[in-house]
Amino acid sequence: MIDRHDERVLLLLGLLSTQSQHGYQMNEFIEHNLGRVTLMKKATAYALLTRMEAAGLVGAEDAREGNRPTRRVYSITPEGTALMREMLVAVLQEPSQSLPPGDIAVMYIAALDTDAAIEALERRVAAMDEHVTELESTPLHPTVVGVDLAIERRLTLMRADLDWFRGVIDRLRGGEVVPRAVLAAAE
Amino acid sequence: MIDRHDERVLLLLGLLSTQSQHGYQMNEFIEHNLGRVTLMKKATAYALLTRMEAAGLVGAEDAREGNRPTRRVYSITPEGTALMREMLVAVLQEPSQSLPPGDIAVMYIAALDTDAAIEALERRVAAMDEHVTELESTPLHPTVVGVDLAIERRLTLMRADLDWFRGVIDRLRGGEVVPRAVLAAAE
DNA sequence: TATAACATGTAACAAGTTACATGATTTC
DNA sequence: GAAATCATGTAACTTGTTACATGTTATA
């Protein structure tokens, strides 16, 4: 029921590992502070919390202040803490065999004529450069310890990607990558 | 109906841009030659081809040899060729704001005690190293032009990630990243 | 004789997103 | 008085995956 490789579970467990919180609170925090590390939507977080409660990873208690809507306050359980540790080790130790978006397009780049390819890649490089600059000037994260580390990693990867694409542009200019039919032979 | 940012559409269009082919043929080719660049399953490819036909990107014709099952042979249309070009430019020019898997775990790395973190990261680094070596020794791709370029990019990104993780291990050893509560403050 | 390959597709299921319902309170 | 905030959750929709149905031919 709970996917032990779902990083969003890890995120929610991590948020609860320091403070008991209600769903709305976590969602606001994620939206305002962690937009850079997750794309999880609010409805998904609510659903996940419900499933995590059913799995015994978190406990829940209803609380009300005045006439406001009831808050469902979640607290991490010992099982949740244990799973968080397990998931951390599991995710950290196994390298993600992820497919970088854009790889299919890179594969077919020779299907474009050289000028069009160069133009497209120059736009990409410019946008990436801007993005790197923006990330570099981001102040250290005030609240969540570790976000800076994740951002640092992203910067590293982005810089490497950027350099690689610059190299491809150079090769396109030098005629090393020439437009041609995409398939040499299909068995 | 057809997502103009779906790289799997691009993949299928690319395959058809050189040769008319039937679905089974494309699926076999993808499974045997392109397992490194896509995770698309066969049923998904069949469904996509059907939708692409409805969208006019490909034409289809039934063919039969002897008593074998009928093959539905797809050919790219002028609209398909035009879309392929558009998609290539679009995907190449806009940098993918992708979230590298593992970032959440990296963010919470300080929730582990230092020894456990180092141990996990050493396993990761060893596995990544092996993977890099394997990719480096992969022979140039015999059939699909451009796969080598995509693999080269992956290698670049993997090497950068690898180096970064080695640096984190060093910092953990040097006591620069210390275990501590994950949240400093939640507003 | 059994099972793998050929070739397509459907049905059932799982999971995520969008949009909305609900109803009080605070802010403009 | 209108709109945004607070707080949770549901319903409808889309999409992908797994497993299977189908029936012939080649292989072990």
pLDDT along chain B (187 residues), means of 10: 89 94 94 91 94 93 84 95 94 89 93 94 98 87 76 94 96 77 39
Q: Model confidence at A181, in pLDDT bands (50, 70, 90)?
A: very low
Residues A169-174 have a mean pLDDT of: 93
Per DSSP, the three-state class of B36 is coil
pLDDT at B143: 62
E strand map for chain B = 21-22, 58-63, 71-76
Closest CA to B87 of A184, A128, A101, A39: A101
Of B111, B152, B168, the CB nearest to A17: B111
* Higher-confidence position of A180 and A85: A85
What the block records as the tokens of B39 is: 């995770």
- According to DSSP, the residues that pair with A76 across neighbouring strands are A58
Give, in Å, how far the C1' of C5 lies from the CA of B25: 12
Mean pLDDT of chain A: 89
CA dist A103 → A74, A161, B16, B178 (Å): 41, 12, 18, 37
Q: Is the pLDDT assigned to residue A37 strictly greater than 80?
A: yes
Question: pLDDT tens digits, residue range A75-89?
Answer: 999 999 999 999 999
Question: pLDDT tens digits, residue range A79-128?
Answer: 999 999 999 999 999 998 788 999 999 999 989 989 999 999 999 999 99
- According to DSSP, the residues that pair with B62 across neighbouring strands are B72
- Cα–Cα dist B48/B45, whole Å: 5
- Cα–Cα dist B187/B185, whole Å: 6
Closest CA to B186 of A141, A65, A50, A51: A141
Chain B CB within 8 Å of residue A20 CB: no
**What DSSP element (H or E) covers A22?**
strand A21-22
Q: How many CB atoms lie within 10 A of CB B118?
A: 16
pLDDT at B3: 87
Window 118-157 of B, Cβ < 8 Å to A: 119-121, 123-124, 127-128, 131, 142-147, 149-150, 152-154, 156-157
Q: Is the pLDDT assigned to residue A184 strictly greater than 50?
A: no
Order of strands across the sheet with B71-76?
B21-22, B71-76, B58-63
